[in-house]
Amino acid sequence: MGTTQESSDATAKLKVTVLRVRQPLASLVPGLPERKSYEYAAVEVRTCVVENTSGQEISLSWGPWSLAFPDGTIIEAMSAWSSEWWDVSLYPNSDRSVRTGRCVKGWIPFEVPKGSKPKYVNYDPQSTSSLEWVIR
C-alpha cells in the first residue's frame, strides 16, 4: 500500500495511490450490513489528475474499483449506500469532475464475506490503463 501508480490514455494521465485497506469498517448504523455473514471493508485512495489534453474535466467515481480474492472472486464497490453509515470521508461516487493539478481522496466501501481477506485492490477504468495493488 502507499505506492503511487500512473494510469493513462491518449489524453490524460492520473496518479493513483491506494493508501490503506480497512476490514472491518464499522458501520454507525446498527444492523448493517443486512446480509448475514458479511461485513464492510474499505479502501482509502487518492487520485490526482496530472495531465489532461482533452479540454474536458476527468470524471472520478467508485465504478472502476474492485477487490480480488485468492479464489478468483471479484467484489465491486457498493452500489447502494449512505454517507451517514460511516465516520470516514468517502471518495466521490457521482462521477466527480476533477481539473488538472487537483487530487481527490477518500474511502471506497465494499461488502465482503466475514473472515475473507482480499489479495488485490484493482482500478480498472474504461478510458485509462488498469492498475493493481497487492494487499499485505
50-107 pLDDT, tens digit each: 999 988 888 899 999 999 999 999 999 998 888 889 999 999 987 778 999 999 999 9
Exposure string of 28-58, with b = 16+ CB inside 10 Å and e = fewer, is eeeebbeeeebbbbbbbbebbbeebeeeeeb
Class of domain 4-134 (CATH, top level): mainly beta
Please report which helix (H) or strand (E) contains residue 40, including its range. Answer: strand 38-52
Tell me the C-alpha distance between 129 and 134, whole Å: 17
Question: 92, 106 in Cβ contact below 8 A?
Answer: yes
CA 37/CA 53 separation, integer angstroms = 46
pLDDT tens track for 18-49: 999 999 999 999 989 989 999 999 999 999 99
Cell numbers describing residue 5:
501508480
Total-model pTM: 0.92
